[in-house]
């Protein structure tokens, strides 16, 4: 545990003391440090609201001002068990039982003592800046079979300056929340009547998604991919052969009975692509085969983790599978890495690269895992791409490269992945006829270059704060007239824009010019063409950008040339 984690863990103990003093009979569960702060789970009859934070923080500050030392003592497990049982701390008793150790440690500050491995800062006075942030429900042990507890999140920093910077960051995160922007810009919704975790794309959101998907298809065709479509349900036996029923069943929906046969909503596209490969004998001369699909899949996610378009139950993967020979593997991986990098730069994302190795729960021989991992590593090193090793984060059938997008706020998001798989070719006996006339197992590469469309759209929305580049904007230009005298000329401008393939609309309302401009800015429309008497007379347009106050008066032809250049070159202004 580093110094910042120690500080935050200590602050969690101070919060637990304050809560138990203010709300007697509160039972304590766990309170660890986490990436951006800490939390503690409480079992209490009191229903916490943000209105309670001021009172809890006030008591916490008093404890901090008391500068109480964090003192450790050790107890035999059976003695500690009796102690916590005597004070009604049933969750601590369960933790001791689960630890199965002869001895446990307890930490005490002031009058408060808690079961804890530590470590902590020297004393409560070392806590200089903290803030309680939010409340959430959390099942004990993460199981829906257990009681729902109340979790209070907070954060702590070594200085008030760092805390202030972090709170400002959180405010910016709130402003960019894709759920908020999605509603304001009318991009998508989750419909209660249909169920949680299912996204409904409205016309403007569907427009953006279609633009991304069209670009995706064009680039795949350029790079030698062929496009596939497969069904949404397939027989259970297929998922038994693939290993998903053994290793992934908790994320799959229950079978559907069709004509006394079990079918399952597909959680992955790969078995369907494999069936197409196996529809006839393949020769080494055909390989590599690069097959891509925008394939919709369905995975069970607990309701508590669903989050806008970022965590859903039905989503469309920009999926592809490459079937190749072992000799072709390195070049194919390198090609996908370069493809993914191109896609990231097109959408103006920086990114970090991780090599994810074999998880504890996996299938396949050690030799295959080592070969697959080496192929991924060699491809990255041949391209001189810096990467970090992420131990145990591969998928059950093979290691992978994870390319994580870094947004405008510096946050990482899961994006492209490249996975080498020797397992499914063996399970499905995926072979090709080699130059020696014998059958050989093909190597399979699973890959995405964006991730799921739902998640990518959510990340993209937050990255741009809804101000999408011109080429992705549902409405690229709004024509605004100053008075009825300019109606005919404004309509002519609108018609010309449409003929040139520029997505446009008009605001011919009776509102004042300032109100019209403000409305267009709130809708994040990149360009406004303001038409007044002067523009009408000169047959020009007054161009206003959503972020710039300076106005430019040019001919419509000049404006069309300018915006088409931005669209064609996918500029991210």
> Hey, which residues are catalytic here?
270, 299, 317, 319, 321, 400, 446
**390 with 358: CB under 8 angstroms?**
no
Give the other-Cβ count within 10 Å of 458's Cβ.
26
**35 with 27: CB under 8 angstroms?**
no
The backbone region for 539, taken as left when phi is positive above 0, alpha when psi lies in -120 to 50, beta otherwise, is: left
Tokens standing for residue 120: 């902590």
Cα 498 from Cα 142, distance rounded (Å): 54
**493 with 500: CB under 8 angstroms?**
no
Give the other-Cβ count within 10 Å of 84's Cβ.
24
The tally of CA atoms less than 13 A away on the side-chain side of residue 178 is 24
Tell me whether residue 126 is exposed, middle or buried, using C-beta atoms within 10 angstroms of its C-beta: 0 to 12, 13 to 18, 19 or more.
Answer: middle
Cα 400 from Cα 349, distance rounded (Å): 21
Which residue, among 374, 375, 370, 369, has the nearest Cα to 324 in the 3D structure? 375
Cα 268 from Cα 248, distance rounded (Å): 10
Give the other-Cβ count within 10 Å of 540's Cβ.
20
Tell me whether residue 464 is exposed, middle or buried, using C-beta atoms within 10 angstroms of its C-beta: 0 to 12, 13 to 18, 19 or more.
Answer: buried
List beta partners, residue 353. Answer: 403
List the Cα angle 200/205/207 in 5-degree steps.
Answer: 120
For 295-332, letters b (16+ CB in 10 Å) and e give bbbbbebeeeeeebbbbbbbbbbbbbbbbbbeebbbeb
Tell me how far the alpha carbon of residue 193 is from its chain's centroid: 25
The SS3 call for residue 431 is: strand
Which residue, among 171, 203, 164, has the nearest Cα to 185 in the 3D structure? 203
């Amino acid at each position: 545990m580093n110094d910042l984690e120690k500080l935050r863990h200590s602050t969690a103990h101070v919060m637990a003391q304050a809560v138990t003093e203010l709300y007697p009979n509160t039972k304590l569960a766990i309170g660890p440090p986490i990436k951006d702060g800490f939390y503690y789970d409480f079992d209490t009859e009191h229903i916490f609201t943000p209105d309670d934070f001021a009172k809890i923080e006030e008591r916490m500050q008093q404890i901090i001002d008391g500068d109480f030392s964090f003192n450790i003592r050790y107890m035999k497990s059976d003695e500690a068990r009796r102690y916590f049982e005597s004070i009604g701390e049933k969750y601590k008793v369960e933790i001791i039982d689960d630890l199965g150790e002869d001895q446990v440690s307890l930490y005490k500050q002031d009058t408060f003592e808690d079961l804890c491995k530590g470590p902590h800062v020297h004393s409560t006075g070392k806590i200089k800046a903290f803030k309680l942030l939010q409340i959430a429900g959390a099942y004990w042990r993460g199981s829906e079979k257990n009681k729902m507890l109340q979790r209070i999140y907070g954060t702590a920093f070594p200085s008030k300056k760092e805390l202030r910077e972090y709170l400002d960051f959180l405010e910016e995160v709130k402003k960019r929340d894709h759920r908020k922007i999605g509603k304001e810009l009318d991009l998508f919704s989750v419909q209660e009547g249909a169920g949680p975790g299912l996204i409904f794309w409205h016309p403007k959101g569907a427009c953006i998604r279609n633009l991304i998907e069209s670009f995706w298809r064009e680039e795949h065709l350029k790079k030698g991919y062929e496009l596939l479509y497969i069904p949404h349900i397939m027989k259970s036996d297929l998922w038994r052969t693939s290993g998903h029923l053994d290793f992934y069943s908790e994320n799959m929906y229950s079978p559907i009975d069709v004509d006394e046969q079990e079918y399952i909503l597909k959680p992955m596209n790969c078995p369907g692509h494999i069936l197409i490969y196996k529809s006839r004998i393949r020769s080494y001369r055909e390989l590599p085969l690069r097959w891509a699909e925008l394939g919709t899949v369905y995975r069970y996610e607990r309701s508590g983790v669903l989050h806008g378009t970022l965590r859903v139950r039905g989503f469309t993967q920009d999926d592809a599978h490459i079937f190749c020979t072992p000799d072709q593997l390195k070049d194919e991986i390198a090609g996908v890495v370069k493809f993914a990098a191109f896609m990231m730069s097109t959408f103006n994302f920086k990114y970090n690269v991780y090599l994810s190795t074999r998880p504890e729960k996996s299938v396949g021989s050690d030799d295959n895992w080592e070969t697959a991992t080496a192929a991924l590593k060699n491809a990255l090193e041949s391209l001189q791409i810096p990467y970090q090793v992420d131990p145990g984060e591969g998928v059950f059938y093979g290691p992978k490269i994870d390319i994580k997008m870094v947004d405008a706020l510096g946050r990482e998001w899961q994006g492209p992945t490249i996975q080498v798989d020797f397992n499914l070719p063996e399970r499905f006996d995926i072979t090709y006829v080699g130059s020696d006339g014998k059958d050989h197992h093909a190597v399979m590469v699973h890959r995405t270059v964006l991730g799921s469309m739902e998640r990518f759209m959510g990340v993209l929305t937050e990255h741009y704060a809804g101000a999408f580049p011109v080429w992705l904007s549902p409405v690229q230009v709004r024509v605004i007239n100053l008075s009825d005298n300019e109606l005919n000329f404004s309509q002519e401008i609108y018609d010309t824009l449409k003929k040139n393939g520029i997505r446009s609309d008009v605001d011919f309302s009776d509102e004042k010019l300032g109100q019209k401009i403000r409305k267009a800015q709130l809708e994040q429309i990149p360009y406004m063409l303001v038409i007044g008497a002067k523009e009408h007379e000169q047959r020009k347009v007054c161009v206003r950008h959503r972020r710039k106050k300076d106005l430019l008066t040019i001919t419509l032809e000049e404006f069309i040339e300018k915006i088409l250049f931005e669209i064609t070159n996918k500029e991210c202004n």
